[in-house]
Every structure is written in structure tokens, then in C-alpha cells.
């Protein structure tokens, strides 16, 4: 394969990774407004989970998840500001690391909630973070092939 052929094939893959990452962050953001805890009549979305009795010991992890969601939203949108292979590779690397941190924090929050009270927000967040991880991996792999 010639170098030109590799670049032509890498760009659509990088773009597909970016779109998958964008869809993932949109799902992760949407999940924050869906109910995460449904205990009887009480429903709590992600932003109001801090008052949940199950999260009292892991309040720092909850705050990390909330901050990472907002940071990754801005970082995902920064894709359109980066130019060149090195910039896009840095974008994909940062997105992957942030998504992995968000996944770990969300998993910890998930385990702190009562098993009988899990809501739809957790499922949507898991799908979104998985798309975010897959998209950033595809974007990074395509950028590495390009260089």
C-alpha cells in the first residue's frame, strides 16, 4: 500500500470515530437528565443523586463523574477546532482517557445505588460511554495509520 492510499482510507475512519464519539457524548449528556434512581415515587436524575443516601460515602466520585461529563462534552466539541493529524490524535487520546475515567466513576455510582432502584439513565449512560470509547479508539487508530 502506498502512503496516499492509507491516508485516504484513514480519514473516513477517523471521521466515523469522531461521529461515534459525538453520539456517545450526546447520549451520556442526555442520560444525566433521565432517572438514575427510582425508589417508589422518588425519582432522581444524575444531577440530583448527590442527595441520595447511598452515595454519601462516595460523594467525591459522584462529583468526578459530574465534572468529567461536562469536561468531555467540551472536549468532544473541540474536535472541530483541532487541525492536523497530531491535534486529532491528541483529541482522541484525551477523549479516551476521559471516557475511561467517566466509565469508572459511573460504575462506582451505579454500584452505590440500591439494586431495586436502578433507572434508565444508567443504561443510556453506559451505551453512550461505550460509543465514546469506541469512537475515540477508532479515531486514534485512524490517526496513527495516517502518520
Number of domains in the chain: 1
CATH number of the domain at 129, please. Answer: 1.20.140
Average pLDDT over residues 21-45: 84
Q: How many CB atoms lie within 10 A of CB 36?
A: 28
pTM of the model: 0.80
Written as nine digits, the cell of 144 is 496513527
CA atoms within 13 A on the CB side of 96: 15
Pairing of strands 35-39, 42-45: antiparallel
C-alpha 140 chain-centroid distance = 15
The Cα 74–Cα 95 span in angstroms is 10
Range scoring the smallest mean pLDDT among 24-33, 81-90, 136-145: 81-90
pLDDT, one tens digit per residue, over 94-110 is 888 988 988 888 888 88
Residue 84 has pLDDT above 70, yes or no: no
Domain coverage including residue 42 = 3-146
Among 12, 139, 145, 120, which residue's Cα sits nearest to residue 82?
Answer: 139
Q: How many CB atoms lie within 10 A of CB 44?
A: 20
Amino acid at each position: 500500500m502506498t502512503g496516499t492510499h492509507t491516508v485516504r482510507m484513514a480519514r473516513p475512519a477517523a471521521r466515523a470515530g469522531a461521529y461515534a464519539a459525538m453520539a456517545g457524548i450526546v447520549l451520556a449528556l442526555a442520560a444525566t437528565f433521565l432517572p438514575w434512581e427510582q425508589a417508589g415515587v422518588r425519582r432522581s436524575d444524575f444531577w440530583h443523586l448527590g442527595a441520595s443516601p447511598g452515595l454519601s460515602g462516595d460523594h467525591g466520585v459522584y462529583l468526578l463523574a459530574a465534572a468529567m461529563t461536562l469536561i468531555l462534552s467540551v472536549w468532544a466539541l473541540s474536535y472541530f477546532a483541532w487541525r492536523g493529524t497530531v491535534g486529532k490524535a491528541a483529541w482522541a487520546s484525551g477523549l479516551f482517557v476521559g471516557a475511561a475515567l467517566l466509565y469508572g466513576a459511573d460504575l462506582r455510582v451505579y454500584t452505590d445505588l440500591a439494586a431495586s432502584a436502578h433507572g434508565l439513565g444508567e443504561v443510556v449512560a453506559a451505551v453512550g460511554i461505550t460509543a465514546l470509547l469506541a469512537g475515540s479508539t477508532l479515531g486514534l487508530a485512524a490517526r496513527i495509520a495516517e502518520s
